[in-house]
Structure 1
């Protein structure tokens, strides 16, 4: 079960793009045993809709998002390292987000929740580590949205970690990916129940959020995987304009399942944080920002990834190298596309083990 801590009770967090937040609750989880000199700590940064629990005791009939990666002798070896993972600022799995109670109004933040950035998310993570008396990190590891967090850690706190491991993520989001996110946002904000984001005391925008999730799922997988899994198979009992094909039924199921675990306002805020990520904010340019990274940097791309495309990841590698960053780059193929870093253990385990042990 996640642990909880309150941060910024004495002094508010001033956000990068304006506004502030105080009395921030952070949900976090730990795995493994910390050693005497606290030198074996690794921070895990979750993807867009993840949470603070990448591993869950399977006796609860549930699984974490990196369930098969964490444990004795595995990629994230709990015999060697002590792992910390927190739900991001703006989320809805225990950390303060739009659904949380605003201490100034005693009502959910809703539309009043400020715009957040990955830089803000990383700052909250750093304060959490300070509270936990963690002086240094062996590594910061993240995939997708988490990979951007890992990169920002290297820029903002260059002396705080030995290694950065970025799985399936670029230094900024492409125009096409921003376009996908725009369509997902429009599905949510045009839901009749959205009410400008203030829907917590009434009906939530479930239809819009479901549509958004279905589109997102298409960017996470590949045409090859979908063809292999569903092809043009139809349902025995179907709706001509609804779930007629099996792939439609799969997407509808994923959208429906998402409603039980995620908040529409959090999805909007985190999508925009993904769009807005730019490591050069506060620096002369991107090269100036990237040159701050002192950690050894591992970058892994999947050449079937339809969200963070391989040519964009190769460009990120070149930019990092031009800034003097020590980069180890791996390019693999997986039928699962972007989601491969969550699924293809055999591909990713050796690279993760090497990336965090240097």
Structure 2
């Protein structure tokens, strides 16, 4: 469990008309594949398939006896191709603009086919991972029982595209691209109120505010653990989320998704605005009964989905209470 595995996908045609050979890597956790309901977890921009355990980025939510219980579920996580997690240069993607979020969803769908997975109990993802979850549901409307997009949207808005455009410029023109792009991004992941609460204009020294030190730390940390081409690729996927491209309007596409849809938004998110999610919910509810929305209340902005675990767990627990068959064929509830 947790070992990095690969699925070889040859002659993959991107939406832009380019052909690639992709080594799609993945990890599984919890129950053995095909022995329990499967939860696909899509990682965020600088995360990866290492969901739980040492250096696991969602340990607070997933694990033994936790909200998503690895004693009851199989957890599957793909790496977005080109994210650099396996540190193999041959698996990086230099021509990142050849790819879109829909391409990643198509690659995940091909990976599921090779793993002989025909049904997913849930797909959950935050930020860009949630956008890919939307794309996968639109691509395979019968595949997913519960679609759970968190702190994300079914499309990249003008605001998001604008910030991704700035990120791309920094990544291509800065003398210290990873650090500078990360510092810019951190101001979008949080809010003015969050930073005020955290720092209160305190100084580390006569010349350096603690907010500046904090930004420098995050910039330097990412530089030490991430790859420039990987950041360019992830930023490109973030800016190209759009389940409607070439398909029709939002209602036409989303109403075909059979999944129970559980939108989780954040009231203070400056990246994926809550208002956009509420508008989508109201619009879709007119055509589809099994759609719900929950809102995390937080001053911490976009990053609240990695901070406000008590609220997130409260929204998710009813979804992940399942019936497990005992050897005597009686049912028992598992939280």
**TM-score, structure 2 normalization:** 0.89
Aligned to 1:227: 196
Q: Could you tell me whether the CA contact under 8 Å between 2:82 and 2:93 is conserved in 1? A: no
Q: Could you tell me whether the CA contact under 8 Å between 2:135 and 2:154 is conserved in 1? A: no
Aligned-pair RMSD on alpha carbons? 2.1
The structural deviation recorded for 1:300 is 1.0
When structure 1 is superposed on structure 2, of 312-321 and 75-84 the one drifting more is 312-321
Give the alignment partner of residue 302 of structure 1, picking from 266, 283, 294: 266
Matched, 1:149 2:132: yes
Q: Could you tell me whether the CA contact under 8 Å between 2:93 and 2:230 is conserved in 1? A: no
Matched, 1:93 2:88: no
1:357 and 1:138 map into 2 onto residues whose CA distance is 12
**1:21-60 superposed matches below 5 A:** 21-22=20-21, 24-34=22-32, 38-57=35-54
Aligned to 2:17: 18
The structural deviation recorded for 1:38 is 4.2
Number of positions where the alignment pairs a residue of Structure 1 with one of Structure 2: 321
Q: Could you tell me whether the CA contact under 8 Å between 2:40 and 2:76 is conserved in 1? A: yes
2:314 and 2:52 map into 1 onto residues whose CA distance is 19
Aligned to 2:100: 117
Aligned to 2:172: 189
Give secondary structure in 2 for the equivalent of 1:348: helix
Aligned to 1:6: 7
Give the alignment partner of residue 64 of structure 1, picking from 56, 63, 83: 56
Aligned to 1:246: 210
For structure 1, list consecutive stretches of 5 or more residues without a partner in the other structure: 58-62, 103-107, 193-206, 239-243
Q: Could you tell me whether the CA contact under 8 Å between 2:7 and 2:114 is conserved in 1? A: no
For structure 2, list consecutive stretches of 5 or more residues without a partner in the other structure: 323-335
Q: Following TM superposition, where does structure 1 have runs of at least 4 consecutive aligned residues deviating by more than 3 angstroms?
A: 355-358
Q: Could you tell me whether the CA contact under 8 Å between 2:135 and 2:242 is conserved in 1? A: no
Deviations 1:45-76 (A, max 9, x none): 1111110112123xxxxx22212111122121
1:121 and 1:143 map into 2 onto residues whose CA distance is 15
Aligned to 1:266: 230
Q: Could you tell me whether the CA contact under 8 Å between 2:41 and 2:75 is conserved in 1? A: yes
Deviations 1:320-358 (A, max 9, x none): 324426211111211322111112111101212223457
> Cα–Cα, structure 1 residues 109 and 344, in superposed 2: closer, same or farther, change >3 Å?
closer
Give secondary structure in 1 for the equivalent of 2:317: helix
**TM-score, structure 1 normalization:** 0.84
Matched, 1:218 2:187: yes
Q: Could you tell me whether the CA contact under 8 Å between 1:290 and 1:325 is conserved in 2? A: no
When structure 1 is superposed on structure 2, of 307-316 and 280-289 the one drifting more is 280-289
